[in-house]
Structure 1
């Protein structure tokens, strides 16, 4: 295979992963997409919040959930204090009979904390959220309404990231594109992941997670997928979060997520089998290929350096210039913010550098350490 063929193959892979597949899904969703039946049933619901050393914020988070416009006698909140070293359990136990607190004696990680919580859930529906977000009005009703359709097994809400500046603007652009892709996948019945900060599922579909599982927001909805049910995205169910405070924080978040994808493949090998994975095409195009993109970018750069012809010399230096500009944007975020598309380019480089490191990171260490608080 010549260097020229290798170059264009790699460029095609990158283009398909980030543009071709989203455009294909958007076109198919417009033509064939379907929306599940929704009804405001006010079904009995337990909201699970796993927390570790969150004494300062947990009470406000619990009240935020209880303040939702949801039938009072149909809503419960279950807080799991995951071996917290502070007063998280005591602070969570506010004076409301709808709130229960489960205090684990040692820190076992989010996945195992959720496993423990599910042994105490007695409602047909269960929702999951984190401590640092807050819910927009009407969120729980919107999250539960799609379960009126028996084909729906899990529902994701929408995470809205607060105002961002500098390189975080590129992160915001990427996240808006990602949410649009997920919404289109949902209309085709292809959605296979949810937002970890706001999602719900039928309790009967829950399967305990192995210790140290990083992507609980993939493991749980995939149980619905493998059971033959749909994962829906309720865009009116909104959790509001802040943008990452720094480039390093954003990088660590991406590295954790991408390493978790490799871990998930090892723990759920059926993902690789199109005969067993009902969402194989979507998962392969959306998740797996993005793990390969940084390697394709490196090979494309090398191939253009060795290919014959002035065109490939030009493409080689164009790539170097693009990467140099993106790195300059990371070093000078205030300058980058005033230049169109440069924040997005910087975000793209961060994402793919994290993807490049995700495989060795998942092999060299326990990926759960990439997110566990200390």
Structure 2
């Protein structure tokens, strides 16, 4: 066996091992570590008159289709009205979003309208300068909160060590309103719970999370995944705890089109590579579980497209062995199946387990595209709104789902 062939074998099995670790070994390891070393803590008991002042911040760009429902939902939050405000920061809107907001008659609603589009990160930076709440709950324009969500987030801040609290996002089908939490989303939620119990939660969910206003630091205007960078920068600079609160629930529809979902994932991928340059200190082994989680759950996951390509390319040079001919056949079959399943009707229930292959392939393809967009600098801090579909039953259906599945 010559040195080139030996190198190809190393490339193949190294790639296979790292992909296996990221998607299979890491979840088992973090589950075991959570069982062995978790610090399970309940939120402090806080009465209504002890709750901190609160600002619900929504950053929006051209959201005339959903902004009325979103603000009405935010104003209806179960929180003392004398200690809460709803702030909508408009990033260069060119549709009717501003005029819809001007139709509200509430002293608790403030609108910050920035005429020049500057991107979500810069809008966040400017908006934080105008907020009055000790605690800021960040959310999206296409999100709906459970009435008690803000209160469930805020009560954790009675503990001075807590700096960020991440809520739980429930996904719905845009047409039927039915819960569509896929196996992959449940898998990600499971990882959040395990990491949270170890004090190693990585970032938050942009649909629903809260941060102490004093811990917010302005982020670069080119930041693509602010809900990942903002919490972890706060942790780096203050050492605060990031807590996961599964009973603080938000509801959101999935993108109506596969192309929209792919663009979203590619943007997240570009943001992931971008964030390594900002958050690389989290990889310091002295940071304990945080370093382990950041490496296993994020960095290696973002690099998986290259491991997969390395496996495929090296396999082509090893076809003299039956083992590697079988390996190549299995890889081609997997990718072929993922493409085939993508075109099957969603009503075909027997195909649902196989849709994981499509999810895996699409996610890694999007990460690969995201890497090149980051490298070439083609992604900017501005964002294109995701197409929405009418969802008359989504919130009621998901609230019923939450009531039947919540844990405390």
Matched, 1:27 2:36: no
| Per-residue deviation, residues 269-323 of structure 1 (Å, max 9, x unmatched) | 4345556798222111111101211111121123333334212211210111111
TM-score (norm 2): 0.85
- How far did 1:74 drift? 1.5
Per-residue CA distance 1:157-196 (angstroms, 9 max, x = gap): 111111389xxx9982211111110111011011121000
- TM-score of the aligned structures, taking structure 1 as reference length: 0.92
Q: Flag the 1:96–1:335 CA change in 2: closer, same or farther, 3 A.
A: closer
Residue 97 of structure 1, CA deviation: 0.8
How many pairs are equivalent? 372
Aligned alpha-carbon RMSD (Å): 2.4
Equivalent residue for 2:127, pick from 111, 114, 117: 117
Pick the aligned partner of 2:303 from 292, 296, 311.
292
**Is 1:16 the counterpart of 2:24 in the alignment?**
no
- Cα 1:188–1:15 change in 2 (3 A) is same
Counterpart residue number, 1:47? 56
CA contact (8 A) 2:119 2:382 kept: no
The equivalent residue for 1:204 is: 214
Contact 2:173 2:180 in 1 (8 A): no
Shift of 1:352: 0.5
2:85 counterpart of 1:73: no
Check conservation: 1:136, 1:238, Cα contact below 8 A.
yes
For residues 169-318 of structure 1, the aligned pairs below 5 Å read: 172-226=182-236, 227-271=238-282, 273-274=284-285, 279-307=290-318, 308-318=320-330
CA distance in 2, matches of 1:100, 1:134: 19
Equivalent pair of 2:166/2:245 in contact (CA under 8 Å): yes
Contact persistence 2:34–2:198 (CA under 8 A): yes
* Structure 2 Cα separation of the partners of residues 369 and 45 of structure 1: 27
In structure 1, list runs of 5 or more residues that go unmatched: none
User: 2:355 aligns to what?
Assistant: 343
In structure 2, stretches of 5+ residues that fail to align are 1-5, 387-408
1:296–1:245 CA distance, 2 compared to 1 (3 A): same
Distance (Å, rounded) in 2 between the aligned partners of 1:57 and 1:170 = 20
1:305–1:316 Cα contact (<8 Å) kept: yes
CA deviation profile, 1:23-62 (whole Å, cap 9, x unmatched): 1111111221123441334221100011111233222211
Aligned residue in 1 for 2:404: none
Task: Report the more deviating stretch, 129-138 or 333-342.
Answer: 333-342
